[in-house]
Amino acid sequence: MSEPAQKFEVVIAGGGLNGLAMAAALAGPAVRMPFNVCIVDGADPKTFSKPQFDGRASAITASSRKMLEALGVWPALADHAEAMREIVITDSRGAADRRPALLHFGEQHSPGTVSAHMVENSYLYSVLYDVVARSPHVEVMAGHTIDAYDFGKASTTVSLARVGRVAGELLIAADGRNSAARAAAGVETMGWSYPQAGITFTVEHDGDHEGRAEEHFLPAGPFAILPLTGRRSSIVWTEQSVFAGELMEMDDDAFQAEFEQRFGTRLGAVRLVSKRFCYPLSLQIAKQFAGDRLALIGDAAHVVHPIAGLGFNLGLRDIAALAEVVSDAARLGLDIGTVDVLERYQTWRRLDTVMVAAATDGINRLFSNDNSALRSIRDMGLGIVDRAGGLKTVFMREAAGLSGQLPKLLSGEAL
Ligand SMILES: Cc1cc2nc3c(=O)[nH]c(=O)nc-3n(C[C@H](O)[C@H](O)[C@H](O)COP(=O)(O)OP(=O)(O)OC[C@H]3O[C@@H](n4cnc5c(N)ncnc54)[C@H](O)[C@@H]3O)c2cc1C
């Protein structure tokens, strides 16, 4: 007979940014009745507790920042966060230093609120990991890949290589875009791959960026320069997949020459100070976000184009909604893993996700080409937005994640 499974209220499959933030939301300082949580990740325990640089930095919106404050992680992040004070969007015409600004957002469009802060993902990981590892309510199981799932009537049981079995009243799938938990539950996805890839890395420059983010819409895709602390910026360079592969193969000098053509000279001399990473880009949405004993969050639920830097922010919105739904249910003495309870989570999150996915897809299609008719239409549309103060304020608040029915954590409230 097999060993009995270790039992938890919640088992989280995957300890990436979303899995860790989920554990922090359910068992950290923001929740009055902490859950008993197990988080499982296949990564080597040494790299899991000391995350490596992955080339990425995240734009943390104003509502996501409030949530990170409630989770108790913002104070440790604040010194590593750079406020985005200005966002300039340009079209593809002209040399790098003479691209006309199509849209210009500043703090005046959302007074008193910085729309976002840039934080390198490696800091986000390590600060979230610290909160989770400190919680007496969380068991961290790193270095264990889940290789089987059993969705039972009262719990979901997962099998881990070498450790045995772990059961949760609720399994939360946070195991990324190729989620094995999602596949095991038979949840299908819809979407497509983009013929583009995103190259990310960090640069140092002589000039001060003054908190200005720039997104240049080039024919192959957006080229984003995002302010980091000090005289540094994070680059997200979207290219056609084949050329992105060639760029990744280039030696540093050839790569730098290609990069400088797009970066321009506004910030003076510029140097690459990190390795380059290349990510395939796709749009993918799970057909269900919840089922009996299962909820999907983060990239397991949805992957969107990084054009607006919203992926992890969408994950935080999932986490805030799911944590509130299960906390409310537990307070009423309900079973947190039933589809009746989890349906509320699904309804709360699906529409927002589909809207963001459609918007990012539409903007990418509209801009990532050199069609002159489309160019005139988009220039006219953005020109109108740029001159209409009220419309800009609405855009700014949407981008900051401050519109719609916000879960409590995104307003900085405890559960
Ligand atoms: C180029 C680029 C730029 C981006 N920029 C931004 C930005 O500016 N702002 C923003 O908000 N978002 C951004 N994103 C999106 C964001 O990075 C992702 O949405 C986010 O990192 C996904 O985190 P996750 O935890 O859901 O998934 P993942 O990071 O994929 O984590 C999944 C985890 O599950 C584990 N795992 C998988 N399978 C198993 C298994 N069977 N057993 C045990 N463990 C398992 C893995 O080891 C991993 O740790 C960007 C994305 C890209 C590609």
Mean pLDDT to the nearest integer, 389-397:
56
CA 298 to ligand 1 centroid distance, Å: 7
Q: Ligand 1 center to residue 103 CA distance, Å?
A: 30
Pairing of strands 116-120, 57-61: antiparallel
Q: Is 65 in the pocket of ligand 1 (CB under 6 A)?
A: no
How many angstroms is it from 66 CA to the middle of ligand 1?
A: 21
Give the phi and the psi of residue 50 in degrees, each rounded to 5: -130, 80
The answer to whether residue 47 is domain-embedded is yes
Cα 363 to its chain centre, rounded Å, is 18
Domain count, the chain: 1
Q: Which atom of ligand 1 is nearest to the CA of 181?
A: 41
The whole-number pLDDT of residue 390 equals 55
Q: Please report the pLDDT score of residue 45 as a whole number.
A: 79
Q: Is residue 401 domain-resident?
A: no
Is the beta carbon of 222 within 6 A of some atom in ligand 1? Answer: no
177-225, pLDDT tens digit by residue?
999 999 999 999 999 999 999 999 999 999 999 999 998 888 888 999 9
Q: Is 396 part of any domain?
A: no
Identify residue 369 by its one-letter amino acid code: N
What pLDDT, on the 0 to 100 scale, is given for residue 401? 57
CB-ligand 1 contact for 299 (6 Å cutoff)? yes
Pocket lining: 310 vs ligand 1, CB cutoff 6 Å:
yes
359 backbone dihedrals φ, ψ, rounded to 5°: -65, -45
122 CB within 6 A, ligand 1: no
* pLDDT-derived band at 361, boundaries 50, 70, 90: confident
Residue to mutate (ligand 1; options 52, 56, 64, 159; most atoms within 8 A of CB): 56
Q: What is the CATH number of the domain that holds 313?
A: 3.50.50.60
What is the reported pLDDT for 217?
Answer: 86
Tokens of 112: 């008193």
| pLDDT tens-digit readout, 152-174 | 999 999 999 777 899 999 999 99
Find the 54 Cα to ligand 1 centroid distance in Å. 10
Q: Can you tell me the mean pLDDT for 37-49?
A: 86
Average pLDDT over residues 300-313: 90
- For residue 137, being part of any structural domain is answered with yes
H/E element, 220? none
- Tell me the sheet residues that pair with 89: 103, 215
Give the DSSP letter of residue 305.
-
- Structure confidence at residue 241 as a pLDDT band (50, 70, 90): very high
Residue 48: which residues within 8 A CB-CB, separation 6 or more?
A: 15, 41, 129, 140, 142, 143
Token look-up 């240049």 returns: 216
Residue in this structure with the two tokens 């989570």, named with its chain if needed: 345
Residue 308 C-alpha to ligand 1 middle, in angstroms? Answer: 16
pLDDT of residue 363: 78
As a whole number of angstroms, the distance between CA 20 and CA 144 comes to 16
At residue 162, the pLDDT reads: 76
Write the CA distances from 78 to 45, 69, 73, 234, integer angstroms: 26, 10, 9, 17
* Atom 44, ligand 1: residue with shortest CA distance: 41
**Which of 37, 26, 29, 13 has the alpha carbon at shortest distance from 76?**
29
Q: What is the mean pLDDT of the chain?
A: 88
**CA separation (Å) from 89 to 102, 189, 214?**
6, 32, 6
Q: What share of the chain is helix, strand, coil (3-state, %, to 5)?
A: 40, 30, 30
C-alpha span between 186 and 339 (Å, rounded): 15
**400 pLDDT tier (thresholds 50, 70, 90):** low
Contacts of 112 (CB under 8 A, 6+ apart): none
- Whether 301 and 342 have beta carbons less than 8 Å apart is answered as no
Ligand 1, residue 299: give the atom nearest the CA.
26
Q: Give the pLDDT score at 77.
A: 94
pLDDT of 1 > 60? The answer is no
- Judge if the beta carbon of residue 58 lies within 6 A of ligand 1: yes
Residue from 39, 48, 52, 58 to probe ligand 1 pocket by mutation (most atoms less than 8 Å from CB): 58
Averaged pLDDT, 241-254: 95
- Domain membership of residue 309 (yes or no) is yes
**Distance from C-alpha of 283 to C-alpha of 117, rounded to nearest angstrom:** 24
Taking the CA atoms of residue 329, residue 334, residue 339 and residue 340 in that order, the dihedral angle to the nearest 10 degrees is: -80
State pTM to two decimals.
Answer: 0.91
More confidently predicted of 360 and 245 = 245
In a domain, 183, yes or no: yes
Whole-number pLDDT of residue 95: 60
Would 162 be classed as within a structural domain?
yes
226-246 core/surface letters (b: 16 or more CB in 10 A; e: else): bbbeebbbbbbbbbbeeebee
Element (H, E) at 186: none
Confirm whether 245 is domain-assigned.
Answer: no
pLDDT at 61 over 80: yes
C-beta neighbour count of 7 within 10 angstroms: 15
Residue 7 scores a pLDDT above 70: yes
Query: Could you list the residue range(s) of the whole structural domain that residue 162 is in?
Result: 6-52+120-191+282-367
* CB of 232 closer than 8 Å to CB of 63: no
Residue 200 near residue 276, CB atoms below 8 Å:
yes
pLDDT over 70 percentage in the chain: 86
Instruction: Name the strand (E) or helix (H) holding 351.
Output: helix 339-367
Residue 95 vs residues 212, 310, 366, 373: alpha-carbon distances, Å = 19, 28, 21, 21
Does 171 sit in the ligand 1 pocket, CB within 6 Å? no
Q: 372-378, long-range: CB within 8 Å, 24+ apart, which pairs?
A: 375/91, 375/92, 375/93, 378/91, 378/102
Write out pLDDT tens, residues 269-300: 999 999 999 999 999 999 999 999 999 999 99
Beta strand pairing call for 146-151 and 156-160? antiparallel
Q: Which residue has the tokens 């299908």?
A: 188
With a 6 A CB cut-off, is 196 part of the ligand 1 pocket? Answer: no
Overall residue count recorded for the chain in this entry: 415
